[in-house]
Amino acid sequence: MKKSGILNSRLEYGLTKLGHTQRIAICDAGMPLPFDADVIDLAFIPGVPSFIQVLEAIAVELKIESYWIAQETSKANPAIKKEMERVLCDLPFQEVPHEELKKITNESQLFVRTGECSSFANVVLVCGVTF
């Protein structure tokens, strides 16, 4: 049995398939996702797992080049924005209107739904390359 890291086999497999410039959307429980998308649904009960728990685990496993968040996050959920910035350090990012973020989200290659039930707890990560 694997001792540490991501234990969810579907998520681990999905991360290993991602290449440079491909995208992963990590979303709260309410984010509308494409109906036919293959979503890795980690939501168990409201708040579990949290958006930040999932982001932290993925950030350890994945080389991230940049990311997108909704402009509305700054005012509607400043605590989540602060935590995202902590986890993603000094990576470049773009703030776009939430409606535009939904479109960017829909172009992702991997979708991960968390149990987060606070507003605008969504991010689209752009994969980097390790060499």
- The catalytic residue positions are 20
Q: Please compute, for residue 94, the number of CA atoms within 13 A of its CA located in the half-sphere on the CB side.
A: 12
Tokens of 124: 């689209």
**Which strands, in side-by-side order, build the sheet including 23-27?**
39-41, 110-113, 23-27, 123-127, 64-70, 93-96
Asked if 40 contacts 11 with a C-beta cutoff of 8 angstroms, the reply is yes
Q: What are the two backbone dihedrals, phi and then psi, of residue 25, each rounded to the nearest 5 degrees?
A: -100, 125
H or E element at residue 113: strand 110-113
Number of neighbours of residue 101 by Cβ within 10 angstroms: 25
